[in-house]
Amino acid sequence: MTKQDWIKTGKFALVFGALALVDQPIQRFALDLREHNRGLRNISRTVTNFGGTYEGYTLGALGVYGFLFKKEKMQTTTLLATQAFFTSAAVESLLKFLGGRQRPFFNDSTKVQAAPTFYGPFHATPKDQFGRKTNSSFPSGHTTVAFAAATVYALEYKNKPLIPVIAYSAATLIGLSRITENRHWATDVLAGAALGYLSGRLVVNNYHRYAKLKAPNQKKGNVRLNLQYNQGQISPGLVYTFR
């Protein structure tokens, strides 16, 4: 890691630590806001779906669009976004298992309200009414895959300023909806955004690094045979052209 990387990591750790101190107050504020705003409830419920199954549909639609209209860049970008989606989802699932963090909606008989506690991978916690684990809060999966795909599109279309704005705005709204839907703590969302961003950037960087290695090297010189005339004599020679 470079010095700049360490500085960025330190800044993220400070922000994460500060946010962790107010996880519960943020959760209470978000739920209170949602409770008293019907419009927010409807929007939140709709937006949050686009970070899961609906995102897969969106990527599929963009891929079909690129194929039908022969948009090679769109096809490639969507494939990269799909790779980032699955890569980040795999890492996120592992972190969920290792962290074992309690979700904000879960309450047991010994607590007045849920707490953002990490129990580890082997702590037995009850499942919710749908049979899902209640200790799989960290990081937010919806936020992770949303930022992974958004980062790929933002980097590949950085010459079109509107696309990065749309991509990151959509991912941010999905992350915020996970808080208002009481599915995740604020730090879960922040961690998911960071993981998604890093996954997307890694996929894009690796793709361009590989493409550069596979591309013909235009800087190579070439050698050709040349006949030279000197003092009445013709002699063969080699000419090397630098490029």
Q: Is the pLDDT of residue 1 over 90?
A: no
pLDDT of residue 240: 53
Predicted local confidence at residue 233, as pLDDT: 57
Confidence label for 242 from pLDDT (cuts 50, 70 and 90):
low
Q: Residue 234: what pLDDT?
A: 52
CATH 1.20.144 fits 10-116+133-241, yes or no: yes
46-103 pLDDT tens trace: 999 888 788 999 999 999 999 999 999 999 999 999 999 999 999 999 999 999 999 9
Measuring CA to CA, how many Å separate 22 from each of 1, 16, 25? 30, 10, 5
Q: Which residue has the tokens 């519960």?
A: 24
* Entry pTM: 0.85
Task: List the chain domain ranges.
Answer: 10-116+133-241
Q: What does the H/E/C string look like for the chain?
A: CCHHHHHHHHHHHHHHHHHHCCHHHHHHHHHHHHHCCHHHHHHHHHHHHCCCHHHHHHHHHHHHHHHHCCCHHHHHHHHHHHHHHHHHHHHHHHHHHHHCECCCCCCCCCCCCCCCCECCCCCCCCECCCCCECCCCCCCHHHHHHHHHHHHHHHHCCCCCHHHHHHHHHHHHHHHHHHHCCCCCHHHHHHHHHHHHHHHHHHHHHHHHHHHHHCCCCCCCEEEEEEEEECCEEEEEEEEECC
pLDDT (tens digit per residue) in 171-223: 999 999 999 999 999 999 999 999 999 999 999 999 999 988 887 665 555 55
Encode pLDDT of 100-154 as tens digits: 999 998 766 555 567 899 999 988 777 776 677 788 999 999 999 999 999 999 9
